[in-house]
Every structure is written in structure tokens, then in C-alpha cells.
Amino acid sequence: MFDDLMDGNARYAESFDLADMPGQAARGVGIVCCMDSRLDPPAIFDLKVGDAKVLRTPGGRLTPDAHIGLIVGSHVLGIDRIVMLAHTKCAMASGDDTSVIEKVRQTDGTDLSGMRIGSTPDQMAGLRHDVATLRRDPLVAADVCGMVYDVTTGQVERVC
């Protein structure tokens, strides 16, 4: 079931040349974005491997683990700029947690009742909330910006 991935890794390892790359974000960027497979965060901002720390969450929301990652990253991993990157046509912006939980139940019967996913039909309000949360956190030692990526044009708009 995973043979294709192992074969791909073998091809990757043949020309691997990143052994001496430091673990710091060379361009000082931390990006929180959605796990949507249409997003390639480094490419969106013309960044290379090693330039940024990328954290992916459903809907690109500021989850507790992402928040911790940004705090640590801003102190020891070279992050001095944080981009909260939402995107158009996001499934997590198509409803609230209740509707997403119901969709999962209808799809395969799994009960996610009580799980906090972070879905919101008001994606911009969610983005503004997450940006504000980071900006007022004294443990986050970085500038914070909210942006929206358009999956149809590839363009990014700075919104907060």
C-alpha cells in the first residue's frame, strides 16, 4: 500500500543534497495554512526548502499545537514573521464544526461529536481572530499577518 511512496523516496534520496541545511527558517517565515492539497506554501511565496516553517491544520486555523509551534519557532527556530494563510474554496469554511462532524458521520459513520475542529462559515472572522490571538500573545516574538490565497488565480491578498 505504501510502495509508491517508498519508491518515490528512493528516487529523492538518490540526489539528496540537504544534509548540511540548518534547522532555522532562513527567511524568518512561519506559515500556518490549511492541509488542502492544492496549497504549496513555499511555492506560493517563492520560498525554497529551509526558508520557512510550515504548519498545516484543517482550515489553516490556529490550533493549540500550531500555536505552540509558533511560540517555540519564534524563539529558537528563526521565525520573526508569521503568515496565517486562509484560502478560497476551503471545505472547513463551508460550515461550522457541527456541520463538518455531521458530514463525517454521513460519509463513513464515524462519530466526532465533541471534537473542536475550528470550522467556521465566516472564514474572515476566523482569520482575524487567529491573527489577533497571536498578536496579543506576549510569548510570540514575531510580526503576524493574515492573508488569503485564491486557489483559482494563485494570488494572495493581505487582509489583516
| Residue numbering of the annotated binding site for Zn(2+) | 34, 36, 87, 90
Binding residues: 34, 36, 87, 90
How far apart (Å, rounded) are the C-alpha atoms in residues 23 and 51? 10
How many CB atoms within 10 Å of residue 143? 14
Pairing label, strands 156-158, 143-149: antiparallel
How far apart (Å, rounded) are the C-alpha atoms in residues 96 and 101? 9
How far apart (Å, rounded) are the C-alpha atoms in residues 142 and 82? 7
Name the grid cell of 57.
491544520
Is residue 33 within 8 Å of 61, Cβ to Cβ? no
How far apart (Å, rounded) are the C-alpha atoms in residues 86 and 148? 5
Non-local (6+) Cβ contacts of 37 within 8 A are none
